[in-house]
Amino acid sequence: MRVCVVGSGGREHALAHVLGRTAEVVVTPGNAAIPGSVPAPPEEVEADLFIVGPEAPLVDGLADRLRAAGRAVFGPGADGARLEGSKAWMKDLLAAAAVPTARYGSFADERSALDFLRTLPGPWVVKTDGLAAGKGVLVTGRLDEAEDDVRAKLAGESFGDAGRTVVIEEGLTGPELSVLAICDGSRAVPLAPAQDFKRVGDDDTGPNTGGMGAYSPVPFAGADVVGTVMDGFVEPTLAELRRRGIDYRGVLYAGLMLTSDGPRLLEYNVRFGDPEAQVVLPRLTTDLAELLAAAAAGDLRRAPGAAFGDDACVAVVLASAGYPGEPRRGDVIDGLDAATARGATVFAAGVARDGDGRLVTAGGRVLAITGTGATIAAARRHAYAGVGCVSWPGMHHRSDIALRPGGKPGRGPNGPAP
C-alpha cells in the first residue's frame, strides 16, 4: 500500500515512521528531516490512502476535496472538523449528546461575556472559539486577568478572528488524559491513552503551548477508564455526529480531565495529538496502515484492531528561543546522530536546511526526542539521554516530562490521580 501523509510536523514524522513498517510512505510537504518528503500538493500525489495530519487543512475541507477526487482519506470533512474548528459548536454538540463537560457559555459581545464570567466562582477559563495552535486557552485564578483576556480576545487583539467569539468555562481540577479513537463513521477503536504536558515550564508553569512532551501508557488509565471514555464520550459523540448527517472518518481525540466528580471532556481534536502521536503510535503492534485504511473505507470491522506492546514511550519536545511566542529561526542544530546512537528516536517538526546543508531551527517546536523502555522510568531515561546530546543556541525543554506518571498533588497533567 502506498500512503500519503499530509503535514510537516513531528506528528507526521511519527505517522510516517510507524506506517513505514508495512507501507510505502510519502509525506507532503514534510520537512528537511522526514524521509519521503515531497513538495507537491496532496492533490497531485498518487496514493492508495491519504492521512491528513494537522487540524487547519481538515477544517479547511482538504479531506472533502480529496474524497471528491475519488481518494481514500483518513481525516474528517470540514463538517466533522468543526469539533475542533469551533469550540462553541463543539460544546453545543456535547450538550446535545449528553457528554459531561465543564459548565460554559459562548459570547461574541463583551458585556454578556463579562457578566457570565463574574457568575463563576473561579478558577476561570477563557478560550478562543477558533483555532489557535493550542495557545488560545487562559486558565487563571485571577478574575481581573480573565476579564482582560476576554476583552483582548473579543477585540481581535490577541488571536485575530479566532477570538471574536470566546467560550468561557468553569475551571476544573484533576489529572488530564488523552484518549484517541480511530473512527469509521459509525464504529470506533481506542488507542492506548497518553498524558501530554501543555505548559511551557516545569511543574506546569508559564503559558500554554502546542505540547512540550507526552508519555504512554498512563498508570491509572486502564481498560476500565478507556471503556468509560468510549461509552460515555466517544460513542455518544459519534452518534450525535451521525444524527446530524456527519460521516466522521478520522481520529477523535478526547482531551479529558479526571475530576473528583468523574471524567469531563475539555476538548475534542480531530487529528492525532502532537506530541501524543510520538508516544502512542510507536507502541502499536498491529498494522497502522491497515487500520487507517479500514477506517477510511468506513469499515473498521475488517481491521486487525489496535493492540499495543508493553513497552512505554516518553517524548520530550525541544523548542526554540522565544517559543511559545515568536520563535527564533536559523539556529544550527547539533547532536542528532549522537541522540540516535543513544537509542532515542528523533521526530522532527520545525526544521529546515540552511545554505550549507546544515539542519537549522525553523519553528517553535523543533524536535520530539522519544525514548522507549520496559517501564516509564526507563523510557524517560532513554529520552533524556537523547535530549542531552542535542543542542542549539536558545534551545529549551521541560525537565519533568513523565517524572511523576500517574500524578502528584497539583494541577494540570500531574494533578492527583483519581
Stretch that binds ligand AMP, among 5-13, 64-72, 134-142, 313-321 (CB under 6 A): 134-142
Residues forming beta bridges with residue 166, ordered by sequence position: 107, 128
Return the residue of 6, 137, 212, 293 that touches ligand AMP, per CB under 6 A. Answer: 137
Residue 102 binding ligand AMP, by CB under 6 A: yes
Q: Tell whether residue 64 is a contact of ligand AMP (CB under 6 A).
A: no
State in angstroms the smallest separation of the CB of 396 from ligand AMP: 20
Kindly tell me which residue out of 350, 386, 412, 415 binds ligand AMP, with binding defined by CB under 6 A: 412
Q: Does 90 bind ligand AMP (CB under 6 A)?
A: no
In angstroms, the first-to-last Cα distance of the chain is 43
Q: Which of residues 333-362 bind ligand AMP (CB under 6 A)?
A: none
Q: Is 66 a binder of ligand AMP (CB under 6 A)?
A: no
Q: Is position 169 an interface residue for ligand AMP (rule: CB under 6 A)? A: yes
Three-state SS at 235: helix
Grid cell 537523547 is found at 386
Q: What span, in angstroms and rounded, lies between the C-alpha atoms of 258 and 217?
A: 16
Take residue 376 and report the three cell numbers written for it.
516509564
Bridge partner list, 312: 373
Which span (91-99, 165-173, 330-338, 379-387) binds ligand AMP, by CB under 6 A? 165-173
Which residue's Cβ lies closest to ligand AMP? 267
Cβ-contact 385, 343 below 8 angstroms: yes
Applying CB under 6 A, the span of 52-60, 114-122, 132-140, 299-307 interacting with ligand AMP comes to: 132-140
Number of shown-chain residues binding ligand AMP (CB under 6 A): 16
241 binds ligand AMP (CB under 6 A): no
Distance from C-alpha of 154 to C-alpha of 116, rounded to nearest angstrom: 14
Residue whose C-alpha cell reads 463543539 in the numeric block: 90
Alpha-carbon distance of 274 to 291, in angstroms, equals 20
Distance CA 256, CA 343 (A): 32
- Quick one: 53 or 136, whose CB is closer to ligand AMP? 136
C-beta of 198: minimal distance to ligand AMP in Å? 5
Residue 172 interacts with ligand AMP (CB under 6 A)?
A: yes
Residues with Cβ within 8 Å of 261's Cβ and at least 6 positions away in sequence, in order, are none
- C-alpha distances in Å from residue 282, one per residue of 45, 111, 285, 384: 26, 48, 8, 17
Residue whose grid cell is 508519555: 215
Q: Verify binding: residue 331, ligand AMP, rule CB under 6 A.
A: no
Query: Which CB, 42 or 413, lies closer to ligand AMP?
Result: 413
| 303: Cβ contacts below 8 Å, ≥ 6 apart | 189, 290, 291, 294, 295
Q: Any contact of residue 28 with ligand AMP (CB under 6 A)?
A: no
Per-residue binding letters, 204-233, with ligand AMP (x by CB under 6 A) = ----x-------------------------
Q: Which of 267, 276, 287, 331 binds ligand AMP (CB under 6 A)?
A: 267
β-pair type (49-52, 2-7): parallel
41: Cβ contacts below 8 Å, ≥ 6 apart = 28
Q: Does 255 bind ligand AMP (CB under 6 A)?
A: yes
Q: Is 263 in the site for ligand AMP (CB under 6 A)?
A: no
Residues that bind ligand AMP (CB under 6 A): 102, 125, 127, 134, 137, 139, 169, 171-172, 176, 198, 208, 255, 266-267, 412
